[in-house]
Amino acid sequence: MTHHVLGLRCTICGAEYRVGEVDYVCPRHGHDGILDVLYDYARIRREVAPERLTTSPDRSIWRYLPLMPVDADLARSLAEGTVLGSVGWTPLFPAPRLAARLGLKHLWVKDDSRQPTASFKDRASAVAVVKARERGAEVVTTASTGNAAAALAGLCAAVGQRNVIFVPRTAPQAKVAQLLAFGATVLLVDGTYDQAFDLCLEAAEAFGWYNRNTAYNPYMSEGKKTAAYEICEQLALATGAASSFRAPDVILIPVGDGCIIGGIHKGLRDLAALNWIDRMPRLIGVQAAGSSPLVDAWERGLEGWEMQMVEAHSVADSIVAGLPRDRIKALRAVRETGGAYVRVSDEEILAAIPALAQGCGVFAEPAAAAAYAGLVRAVERGLVGPEERVVVLATGSGLKDVASVMKATGQPLTVAPDLQDVRRALAQR
Ligand SMILES: *Cc1c(COP(=O)(O)O)cnc(C)c1O
Ligand SMILES: [Zn+2]
């Protein structure tokens, strides 16, 4: 079965290319010329009823194969019986206690900490692994702050694919441990993520490796968009909608490079183009105050190509990006949906980890907790109304960065091994 891709369009100049005509970016715009994947929506509408997708027994991203840019037979055969087949279809949990605390009525948390390698990045890496096999690539490579790398290494291991990973020296240990355990060739770059990214592009070109890099490989958004399908499908189920898909009013998304928010926007645009949802949710991008170039650009009305590299730092390592690679798609996602960008401090991010964990049982790494911290801010600022249906995207597990979590939680009580001391400790609490 072939896929329904029409071609690729440059997000800067609008030039269109046939599949196979260009590999990654618009040749006129070099590394910045990230492409958008175009689909034959008319044909999909004729051939695919929404119920056919939503009644699929496949509880993974592959239930949406007719809307994905991969060879469906190849994807199915790789996914069959492997970890690759368990990417996606993460739960959408109602969070009534958190909602009540914020004065909201309808709040859900989409829990992507439960992906096979414990972050949202599995959605994109899954597509990368299939694309690499379509090309017959011997080696796949990526640069990453950690999670994209762990996702690529883990899913490559699932199907026996060689891979080379570039991560900044500062990546949290758990993420590096995943890479090593999965057998990736790991290069710790003595520099920033931005430097690791440029080095990886150079190496991929020099050695002919298949390149998974975010906002360079146009197909990564196509993996990430599956979360939007799932949210709308699960919300329809949760609210007893007559339709197969129902859009929420607002989605809060943590933003570093901007590929996730761009991907969610793409998924929603697909559903809208197919007339499977009747309105576009507002997308609220959340950045750490120490790494908030997209908030700045949004406030100042700048376009993605006018942005300059800034120095960036935050406890939320997965959303630290001095020049967000997918800035064009990330700004469009917010502007075209009437959403907003908000910044949250590292203190707010750390406080959000136990708040989310205790409020609904979802254990998030700092970057993921930032989305909840952003919701708190957004409610304060009146960006989200009390009656609205709100979804917070939890993008990665707290187990990814235990050291940061402990900064927020403090230390446990210590007792001698006798009941008297337990009484003393409990009384002091
Ligand atoms: C990568 C990542 C993000 C941000 O995604 P971008 O596409 O870089 O904006 C947020 N949270 C987690 C846990 C991530 O790994
Ligand atoms: Zn172009």
CA 392 – CA 361 distance, rounded (Å) = 14
Q: Find the 256 Cα to ligand 1 centroid distance in Å.
A: 6
Average pLDDT over residues 227-232: 98
CA distance to 124, 172, 260, 281, 395, per residue, from 236 (Å): 24, 37, 22, 14, 21
16-17 β-sheet, strand order: 16-17, 5-10, 35-39
Lowest mean pLDDT among 289-298, 314-323, 368-377: 314-323
Does the structure show a pLDDT above 60 at 295? Answer: yes
CA 388 – CA 249 distance, rounded (Å) = 6
CA 141 – CA 222 distance, rounded (Å) = 18
Q: Classify 118 in phi/psi space as left (phi over 0), alpha (psi -120 to 50) or beta.
A: left
**247 vs 168, more confident:** 247
Predicted confidence band of residue 353 (pLDDT cuts 50, 70, 90):
very high
CA 338 – CA 37 distance, rounded (Å) = 23
Tell me if 171 is assigned to some domain: no
Predicted confidence band of residue 429 (pLDDT cuts 50, 70, 90):
confident
pLDDT at residue 125, rounded to an integer: 97
Predicted confidence band of residue 290 (pLDDT cuts 50, 70, 90):
very high
Tell me if 75 is assigned to some domain: no
Three-state DSSP class for residue 339:
coil
Residue 410 has, within 13 A of its CA and on its CB side, a CA count of 5
For 75-125, how does the pLDDT look when each residue is reduced to its tens digit (9 = 90+)? 999 999 999 999 999 999 999 999 999 999 999 999 999 999 999 999 999
Helix (H) or strand (E) holding 341, with range, is: strand 340-344
Helix (H) or strand (E) holding 206, with range, is: helix 193-207
Three-state DSSP class for residue 278:
coil
Average pLDDT over residues 322-339: 96
Percent pLDDT > 90 in the chain is 93
Task: Of 314, 210, 217, give the one whose Cα is nearest residue 256.
Answer: 314
Tell me if 179 is assigned to some domain: no
Q: Which of 284, 319, 362 is the pocket-test mutation for ligand 1 (most atoms within 8 Å of CB)?
A: 319
pLDDT at residue 2, rounded to an integer: 58
Task: Tell me the average pLDDT of the chain.
Answer: 96
Q: Tell me the CA end-to-end span of the chain in Å, nearest whole number.
A: 62
Tell me if 178 is assigned to some domain: no
Tell me if 264 is assigned to some domain: yes
| Ligand 1 atom with minimal separation from the 147 CA | 15
Ion ligand 2: residues, CB within 5 A, are 10, 12-13, 15, 26, 28-29, 33
Does the structure show a pLDDT above 90 at 15? Answer: yes
Sign of the alpha-carbon torsion through 153, 155, 160, 162: negative
Average pLDDT over residues 242-264: 97
Tell me if 332 is assigned to some domain: yes
Q: Find the 32 Cα to ligand 2 centroid distance in Å.
A: 8
Q: Find the 205 Cα to ligand 2 centroid distance in Å.
A: 20
Identify the CATH number of the domain in which residue 266 sits: 3.40.50.1100
Write the burial class of residue 58 (CB in 10 Å: 0-12 exposed, 13-18 middle, 19+ buried): middle
Average pLDDT over residues 160-168: 96
Domain span at residue 244 reads 86-117+221-409
State the amino acid at position 35 in one-letter form: L
Average pLDDT over residues 124-128: 98
User: Distance between alpha carbon 51 and the CA centroid of its chain, in Å?
Assistant: 26
Residue matched to tokens 């996730």: 260
Percent pLDDT > 70 in the chain is 100
For 388-413, how does the pLDDT look when each residue is reduced to its tens digit (9 = 90+)? 999 999 999 999 999 999 999 989 99
Q: Which of 261, 291, 292, 318 is the pocket-test mutation for ligand 1 (most atoms within 8 Å of CB)?
A: 318
Token pair for 182: 């999965």
Q: Find the 45 Cα to ligand 1 centroid distance in Å.
A: 32
Lowest mean pLDDT among 43-47, 57-61, 142-146: 142-146
Predicted confidence band of residue 31 (pLDDT cuts 50, 70, 90):
confident
pLDDT at residue 161, rounded to an integer: 97
CA distance to 83, 148, 199, 254, per residue, from 92 (Å): 21, 22, 37, 17
Q: Which of 257, 261, 320, 365 is the pocket-test mutation for ligand 1 (most atoms within 8 Å of CB)?
A: 257
Task: Of 282, 161, 279, 270, give the one whose Cα is nearest residue 225.
Answer: 270
Q: How many domains does the chain have?
A: 1
Does the structure show a pLDDT above 90 at 32? Answer: no
Tell me if 388 is assigned to some domain: yes
Average pLDDT over residues 236-250: 97
Neighbours of 9 (CB within 10 A): 17
Task: Of 380, 315, 383, give the one whose Cα is nearest residue 349.
Answer: 315
Does the structure show a pLDDT above 60 at 1? Answer: no
Do 348 and 398 touch, CB atoms closer than 8 A? no
Which residues have C-beta atoms less than 6 Å from ligand 1?
A: 119-121, 147, 214, 254-260, 318-319, 365, 367-368, 395-396
Does the structure show a pLDDT above 90 at 46? Answer: yes
Tell me if 402 is assigned to some domain: yes
